[in-house]
Amino acid sequence: MARLIGLAGIATISFSAIFVRLADVSPTTAAFFRAFYAWPVLFMIAWLVRHQDRRDSRARWMAFGSGLLLAADLLCWHRSIAAIGAGLGTVLGNTQIMFVGITAWLLHKERPTRLALAIVPLVFAGVALVSGLGRVGAYGVDPVAGVIYGLLTGMFYGSFLLVFRASNRGLSPVAGPLFEVTSGVIVGTAAFGAFDPGFSLAFSWPAHGWLLALALGSQVVGWLLISHALPRLAALETSVQMLVQPMLTVLWGRLLFAEYLSGIQWAGVTLVLGGVGLLAVRGTVHEHSSKKTVSGLAVDVEA
């Protein structure tokens, strides 16, 4: 059952980039309303399970702070989607596993595995190929900018995962931390909105219908399902499931938006997803008994 629940959650969030494209609003507007529409639903769920949530105030503030990092992640991701499409933007966001491994190396002194040292350059080569290398026929209005924003997405998403995991080490009901993360996203995106001339709080249809679907589908239903299932599955299985989301998003992008990638870009996608998959299955660092949770972050998926 946990396997089906996890796949259902991953399939749900695979539409996140699709809803962002369909809404056709500024990156900041999409990120803000994704959190804003989800906030009251998560508040009610968190209130119902509040007696099971034994985290202290420090952990709650850490969850809120991770929401600020997620706000930066979403803003970069939405810009990547606008520049290079829903499918490629989501594929690039999954490079977070490399940034988590680098952070584990620098901050926690966990030595990278030989496999990681060999694969990371190949993944970055795949990222370069995703840009189309300036060739005619590459998909995206600005593939180079899309790749840059995609890498920033992976960096901010990896940072978010590190802080979010640290905020809930006691494995309290996920609704509480997710509510605090969503609150952080609202504050963060509202602050960034001051620098985005396209940011708007005005209601419009059908744009806000798609934003509502994004909020309730991805931020609420998708992440609640995933957060329930992943701790109950083997690490190898969660790593494999992780790759379902970007592959589905590439499929939806092709079917719904005719995102026809060039041969070079397809080669890049193959290198990125293949490399990320191997790193997820085998790990990026040598496991130490006191640090095992850091390398375990590879099982998470892009929003």
pLDDT in tens, the chain (303 residues): 778 888 898 999 999 999 999 999 999 999 999 999 999 999 999 999 888 888 889 999 999 999 999 999 999 999 999 999 999 999 998 888 777 777 767 776 667 778 878 888 888 899 999 988 877 788 989 999 999 999 999 999 888 888 887 887 766 788 888 999 999 999 999 999 988 999 999 999 999 999 999 999 999 999 888 877 766 766 556 666 777 889 999 999 999 999 999 999 999 999 998 888 887 777 666 665 444 444 344 445 667
CB-CB contact of 15 with 218 (8 Å): yes
- DSSP output for 101-154: HHHHHHHH-PPBPHHHHHHHHHHHHHHHHHTGGG-TT-SSSSHHHHHHHHHHHH
Q: Which pLDDT score, from 0 to 100, does residue 277 have? A: 83
> Is the N-terminal amide bond of 27 cis, ω within 30° of 0?
no
CB contact set of 229 (below 8 Å; sequence gap of 6+): 2, 3, 5, 6, 9
Measured between alpha carbons, how far is 194 from 187 in angstroms, rounded to an integer?
A: 12
Q: Rg of the chain's alpha carbons, rounded to an integer?
A: 18
The alpha carbon dihedral of 232, 222, 243, 166 has a sign of: negative
Q: How many helices (H) and strands (E) does the chain have?
A: 15, 0
CB-CB contact of 193 with 32 (8 Å): yes
Find, among 4, 20, 6, the residue nearest to 231 by Cα: 6
Angle in degrees, 0-180, between the axes of helices 143-167 and 86-93, rounded to the nearest 10:
50
**Domain ranges within the chain, ordered by starting residue:** 2-299
- Per DSSP, 284 falls in state S
Measured between alpha carbons, how far is 92 from 165 in angstroms, rounded to an integer?
A: 22
Q: Which pLDDT score, from 0 to 100, does residue 208 have? A: 97
pTM: 0.87
